[in-house]
Amino acid sequence: MKKLLAVLMILVLSISIVACTPKEEPAPPIEDPAGNDDEIVDPTPETDSKDVTLYFLNEEYVETGDESLEKLIPEERTIEVGSTTLEESIVKALMNGPESEGIRTAIPSTAKLLGVEVSDGTAFVNFSREGMFGGSLEETYTINQIVASLVELDSVDRVQFLIDGQKGDSLMGHYSIDEPFDDILGE
């Protein structure tokens, strides 16, 4: 009998706790001051398309060494800019390589881009030290591809390369990167 009474008391106590717990009221709807309450908002961020010129390494020049050939070949491209800056999107597109035949990227496939920021006309291109290796040809044309492509923009006059967020001696051990580039190497 005592057990039955204890069970009934626990049951009554549980019901009274649940019954006395305040119910959450739904939040009042937020009114749009512009009166666009019926507008459906797309949850995906908008992307902006920009037509740009990217510069890639001429494969025929690499294979033959013929100095009379153009070393960098322009490729017109439409870049989708969403959560990153246009400048960062350009460097990522250069890293991914061209869409056309006969040209290629010189940027090592192991390179890790940490970011690109622009301030007072200088694009700061920040790579991780990890994965940045290659010969003098790779370093020359990694620098040249990025500089030539970024200075095409109205927002960029020069490019400063950074390694792990700091000015470094070089990208791959061949050319000094302690000062910004406003033109490509060897021109």
Q: Give the separation between CA 106 and CA 138, rounded to whole angstroms.
A: 5
Q: Domain coordinates of the chain in residue numbers?
A: 48-163
Q: What is the pTM of this model?
A: 0.73
pLDDT in tens, 5-52: 565 566 655 666 655 556 555 555 555 555 555 555 555 556 688 999
Task: Read off the pLDDT of residues 121-163 as tens digits, 9 standing for 90 and up.
Answer: 999 999 999 989 899 999 999 999 999 999 999 999 999 999 9
Report how far residue 116's alpha carbon sits from residue 93's, in angstroms, rounded to the nearest whole number. Answer: 13
What is the sign, positive or negative, of the torsion defined by CA atoms of 125, 149, 159, 49?
negative
